[in-house]
Homo-oligomer: A and B are copies of this chain.
Amino acid sequence: MARSTSTADDEESQPLSPVVIMGTGLVGASIGCALTAVGEDVRLRDRYRSHAVVAAGLGAGSVEHPIPTSVHLVVVAVPPQAVPEVVDWALSHYRNAVVTDVASVKAPVLADLRTRGRDLSRYVGSHPMAGSQYSGPLTATATLFVDRTWVVARGTGNEASQRMVERLAVMCGAHVVHLDADEHDRAVAEISHMPQLMSSLTAARLRDVPASDLLLAGQGVRDVTRIAGSDPALWRQIITANSTEIGTQLRAIRGDLDRLIDQLDDPDAIADLVERGREGVAALPGKHGRKIGDMSAVVVEIPDTPGALARLFTDIQAQGINIEDLSIEHGLSREVGYLSVAVDAERAPDLRAAMVRAGWDLRS
């Protein structure tokens, strides 16, 4: 069912313009920046005109009126709950335009639209898998979607509408993946929404931990709970909209958790769970799926002097050792930072020795 996105036919040489973007948050404004950067005529609309003006200032498009009626494409990038109503409005208002949305849950939007009785041949659901744990009006950028996955919902819109939304994704630098709306919602429940809730559940428990116990916190709990710092207002809408698929995931986790609680005194059962977790991590695509045992961390104290990190990287790269991962850690009590550099385990001793020779202080 996957369609090619690389063929350049006559249709694809046509501009998308004029394009209307409704909703100028991080995703809407970034799409505007990407399209403006390649010469498209982008018009911005937002419930709060001041937001659209800020986005225009970032290069996302124009807030001029009136908007021509000859609009070819409307991108609806409003908060999830408002999407069906705004898509419906756009379909009726721009009679010749293809309308797409970027909501992170697809089947409920489609179901809602179907109850409204309008012809949906010009509506295509989509979901660019970008965004960021950081949000806010100033984080928009033309390259937010470069090398990211952009899901185009199969079975929504006619062939020409699908093609136009695929072109939108490709123009933003993304890779198109075709999934049915139901498949998409299952996938994000598995790979995004369930992990988000596991992180929040873990982090919420820390509220009851005495401050003296929190002193024992290491890097592990910080990694697990990092995305628990995300925006409650956004997640209340996402989780509620995808509650059926998320419920399936969470009930499976509850089954696993019940078994774990029953088997806490069984070493083989514990080892089996941890091993299954390793297999799950290894299944993730890309370098991040490498098993941790293949790498070793070299941790260098970062002196509190200007340019220290630059000098440090100069010394590391002089060794010709590939850096697999990087993070900054902070000392518990001293105002000191450490740079943790993960490299191939076999090369780690060489790097450590070289760093010591270059006068750096190592931690591990």
Contacts and interface: CB of A to CB of B under 8 A. Distances in A.
Given A201-B198, A232-B278, A292 B133 contact: yes
Contacts of A183: 213
A82 interface: no
Interface string A156-175: 00000000000000000001
A209 interface: yes
Given A287-B330, A309-B317, A232 B271 contact: yes
Interface string A235-253: 1110110010011011111
Given A148-B332, A186-B213, A197-B273, A141 B363 contact: yes
Kindly report how many copies of this chain are found in the complex they form together.
Answer: 2
Interface in A285-316: 285-288, 291-293, 295-297, 306-310, 312-314, 316
A244 to B, nearest CB: 8
Interface stretch (A13-21, A83-91, A221-229): A221-229
Contacts of A264: 239-240, 243, 246-247, 250
Given A134-B295, A196-B220, A274-B228, A281 B314 contact: no
A138 B309 contact: no
Contacts of A138: 296, 345, 348-349
Given A175-B332, A246-B264, A264-B246, A202 B198 contact: yes
Contacts of A206: 190-191, 280-281, 283-284
Contacts of A208: 252
Contact of A267 (B134, B222, B240): B240
A82 to B, nearest CB: 14
19 contacts: A133-B219, A134-B293, A134-B342, A139-B297, A149-B332, A191-B214, A191-B217, A192-B217, A205-B252, A232-B270, A236-B268, A240-B270, A253-B257, A254-B257, A286-B331, A310-B316, A314-B314, A323-B328, A326-B327
